[in-house]
Chains A and B, each alone.
Chain A
Amino acid sequence: AQSVTQLGSHVSVSEGALVLLRCNYSSSVPPYLFWYVQYPNQGLQLLLKYTTGATLVKGINGFEAEFKKSETSFHLTKPSAHMSDAAEYFCAVSEGGGADGLTFGKGTHLIIQP
């Protein structure tokens, strides 16, 4: 069975600082990995995804993530945080490319300090 662990339910960074949100996964087959963002009172928006190929994936809003098979990780980073990045971030895994649904982590609430 697949699963996702997001370390840290809340992460606080200063505006302009590096953002690092951690995600570790468990999967019995090569996984498809996703990061979604949820702004208050809104649905989930896809930030980026890893399917196959290049392990460093770039997404929207300056975010990127690196798939590390040896560490079973897919951490999300952004070099310089902006106030508008404050939101809930979800890591998700799928063993079927998303066709059979995604398994989500519990989410990390990102707080940006001015």
Chain B
Amino acid sequence: DIQMTQSPSSISVSLGDRFTITCRASQDIGNYLSWYQQKPEKSPKLMIYRATNLEDGVPSRFSGSRSGSDYSLTINSLESEDTGIYFCLQHKQYPWTFGGGTKLELK
């Protein structure tokens, strides 16, 4: 199975800060990676697909990038509504696997 190592597992960030979450894939996954945001007691919400594509309606302060086997989600100028847990997901190879999650809180 492809392991997705996500970091950090949690972080407190100030409003207006820039923040990056990274998922490292244990094997090549091409750009078959998506990012999801999950609020408490809610279903995950698609934020980024195919590594770099912003889902409709997602603010432009969110962006996705890739460097080798590292995939990153960056939030520029954090807003209060951005808190929650973020997961990456690889869908290159079965079984599709998620990262362990990053809990983003406000300082």
The answer to whether A and B come from one shared complex is: no
